[in-house]
Structure 1
Amino acid sequence: MKSKPVFFIFLIVMGINYKMIAQTPIVSITSKTNDDRSIDLSYTKDKPGTYTISLEFANVENCDISNYKTEVRGYSGNLYRLRPLDKSRGIRYSMRYYTVMGELNPKIDTLFRYTLPFKNGKKVKIYEAGNIGEKYLGQEKALNWKSYLVHSEKPDTICSMRKGIVVRVKNEYDDNSSTNAHYTSMRNSVVVEHADGTFAEYKGFKKNGIFVKLGETIYPQTELGITEKYDLKSYRLDFSIYYLSDIALKENRNQTLKGYKSNYKYLMPNFVTQDGENTIESKKEYITSANEAIITQEFSRSEKKKYAKEHVSAK
């Protein structure tokens, strides 16, 4: 029997934005000198979601400041005010900054009940996904690495597991149906930020088959998009939940592909299924369950009223 070649397609994207790199930064910082010789540092951000900013100062004169870290959520705002030690003289300094998506070590709701990323009543067989970087590139395994995957013979609709804001949409890759790719990182994806600072990432959407937009608030069972053809045989969804656990940004800047280390820690969440609340066991079948109590558990009062009104009207 003639063996078929197996391909591995890698594209490593680090979730760090360095001001020194020749690209349009996600976060831009400007300065303004005031009449009292203090300096206000402000930011603008062109993407939704929370970002941690690390400021590094050098060659500072007439000001007591070294490094500063903070989180920003809005699209613009004030960061920091530099105050002169001697008010008769101005402040001199040089600065570089780094940004990374997420709030550092947020307070996680470990008891939160997630829905599976499929329509209510859908039966799926779920597998734990291996860490490709560790297996094939010799990279250090991400903290508590946990990611799941589901294969299907036909395209399927993927749904949100929890209320959140869409903070990243990647819609640029064609499918791999013409190759026997064992693994590819070039996949369309959606990342959603939750209220407790965690992120859910859904990978495997058909190009132009994503239904949600950047900055949109979504809810459990919101349809995110349609799965892509992963290889010659099947469609595939990968999904995971994680949060920012490390901001060693300066050290990460010069990492090699092999030495790449993730800034994120992965979770093994509780999922609501027709068998109750479970953590996922690999190679086991589950049926999605999404009742009103689960769907509305993070709703505001107005959202609950709207949901009740819509579902009464639908009956």
Structure 2
Amino acid sequence: MKRSLVFLVLLARTLFAAEDNHTGFRVIAERSDDGVTLVMKSDYCVEFTVTLEATLKNMTSTHALPFTVDAAGRSSFVLAKFKRTDTTRPWSYNYYYHWEYGGRRDSTDNDYDYAMPFGPGRYVVMQGPRGSYSHFVGSGSENAVDWDVPEGTTVRAAREGRVVGVRDDSTFSGTDPKFKPLGNYVIIKHSDGTFADYHHLQTDGALVKIGDEVKVGQPIGLSGQTGFASKPHLHFMVFQAIDGKKVLSLPFRLKTDHGTVTDFIRGRSY
């Protein structure tokens, strides 16, 4: 879910904040006498990855550009500082930031038996891995599974972990990809550094909050149709961030009352 924002500043500027298309991610630029400080803020998530690019004129950055940083449990942090080099000359900067849910890790292993993210029963796959609608190669959701469930179905944790992202105030929904970052969700971080995304929850449908430790089978939300969705369903994905522009969707193994599943076929129940 790549996002980018561009700012151009010439000479002086006042405090300015811009929210990234109602996603809750934004950068605040705080001016000082010798330059500007960029502060990254998130309203809904404390585990995300940011990549910053910039072009500077008569300014230097506290970090070599471009660079990537993990929020690592923070909802607000200093992203970078740009300082004026020569105070007698004009200065300017352009910057672009990109963010993705989740953090980075050294491994791509995902050796765990996940539980069905619902109560007992069988559930139909609406879209499987590499589905042509939104799980195609390059989508960032290549190994995700969309489960065909009615709105209001109780969603349960498929693996124990800590809640690091919660949004349930969005009322946006549509079949245009522009709605992709506007879905409600719960994101859980696992002990091995992987993350699970439970997406498209209904408005006011979160049953947990950031910082909660959850167990397998614990109710965490109610399914819905917010964001980029053609009908009510649950988008379930295990993933990790690559940088602020890309995530790696990981294959997962699902253990059910009917056996262990690794292949998820559209239209079949599991």
* TM-score with structure 2 setting the length: 0.64
- Contact 1:58 1:94 survives alignment (8 Å): yes
Structure (1 or 2) with the larger CA radius of gyration:
1
Aligned residue in 1 for 2:13 = none
- Structure 1 residue 142 corresponds to structure 2 residue 139: yes
| Contact 2:201 2:221 (8 Å CA) reproduced | yes
Alpha-carbon offset, residue 20 of structure 1 = 3.8
Kindly indicate whether the alpha-carbon contact (under 8 Å) linking 1:166 and 1:217 is maintained by their aligned counterparts in 2: no
Match of 2:54 in 1: 56
Using the TM superposition, give the Cα deviation of residue 85 of structure 1 relative to its aligned residue in structure 2, in angstroms: 8.4
- Which residue of structure 1 aligns with residue 75 of structure 2? 75
Gap change, CA 1:46 and 1:152, over 3 Å in 2: closer
> 1:90, 1:98 → 2: CA distance?
26
Q: Is the 8 A contact 1:50 1:72 kept in 2?
A: yes
% identical aligned pairs: 16
Structure with the higher fraction of residues in helix conformation: 1
Give the 3-state SS of the residue equivalent to 2:122 in structure 1: strand
CA 1:67–1:147: 2 relative to 1, 3 Å = closer
1:146 Cα deviation after fit: 2.4
Cα pair distance change 1:90/1:80, threshold 3 Å: farther
- Cα distance, 1:27–1:133 mapped onto 2, change above 3 Å: same
> Which residue in 2 is equivalent to 1:238?
235
Q: Deviations over 1:130-181 (max 9, x none)?
A: 33158xxxx86425712323335795311022313241424444999xxxx9
* Structure 2 counterpart of 1:164, one-letter code: R
**Per-residue CA shift, 1:10-66, capped at 9, x if unaligned?**
xxxx441425498425243546769xx7x7846242332223131413224577954
Task: Determine the C-alpha separation between the residues in 2 that align with 1:20 and 1:42.
Answer: 11
Structure 2: how far apart are the matches of 1:157 and 1:94? 48
Which of residues 180, 185, 190 in structure 1 aligns to 2:185? 190
Structure 1: how far apart are the matches of 2:163 and 2:60? 42
**Counterpart-to-counterpart distance in 1, 2:28 and 2:199:** 32
The residue identity in structure 1 corresponding to 2:97 is Y
Distance 1:169 1:276, change over 3 A: same
Distance 1:156 1:126 in 2: 13
> How many angstroms apart in 2 are the aligned matches of 1:157 and 1:165?
17
1:125 aligns with 2:112: no
Paired residues of 1:54 and 1:67 also in contact (CA < 8 A): yes
Helix, strand or coil: the match of 2:125?
A: strand
| Alignment partners' CA distance in 2, 1:81 and 1:273 | 50
Compute the displacement of 1:99 (Å): 3.1
Relative to structure 1, the CA distance from residue 67 to residue 57 in structure 2 (aligned partners, 3 Å threshold; closer, same or farther) is farther
Contact 1:160 1:222 in 2 (8 A): yes
- Does the C-alpha gap of structure 1 residues 52 and 152 become closer, same or farther in structure 2, counting only changes over 3 Å? closer
Q: 1:280 and 1:173, CA in 2 relative to 1: closer, same or farther beyond 3 A?
A: farther
Q: Distance in 2 between matches of 1:131 and 1:236?
A: 16
The correspondence of residues 277-292 of structure 1 with structure 2, limited to 5 A, is 277-282=260-265, 284-286=268-270
The TM-score with structure 1 as length reference comes to 0.57
Change (3 A) 1:209 1:32: closer
Q: Residues 51 and 153 of structure 1: is their aligned pair in 2 closer, same or farther, counting only changes over 3 Å?
A: closer
How far is the alpha carbon of 1:69 from its aligned partner? 2.8
Going by fraction, where is strand more abundant, 1 or 2?
A: 2
The gaps in structure 1 that reach 5 residues or longer are 1-13, 249-262, 287-315
The partner residue of 2:216 within 211, 217, 220 is: 220
Tell me: CA distance 1:222–1:40, structure 2 relative to 1, closer, same or farther (3 Å): farther
Q: Is the 8 A contact 1:57 1:96 kept in 2?
A: yes
C-alpha deviations, 1:174-219, integer Å up to 9, x for none?
999xxxx9xxx68853140424554423234343333233554433
Would you say 1:115 and 2:115 are equivalent positions?
Answer: yes
Mapped to 1, the partners of 2:251 and 2:261 lie a distance apart of 10
Change (3 A) 1:16 1:104: farther
Contact 1:202 / 1:237 at 8 angstroms: preserved in 2? yes
C-alpha contact 1:155 1:226 (8 A) present in aligned 2: yes
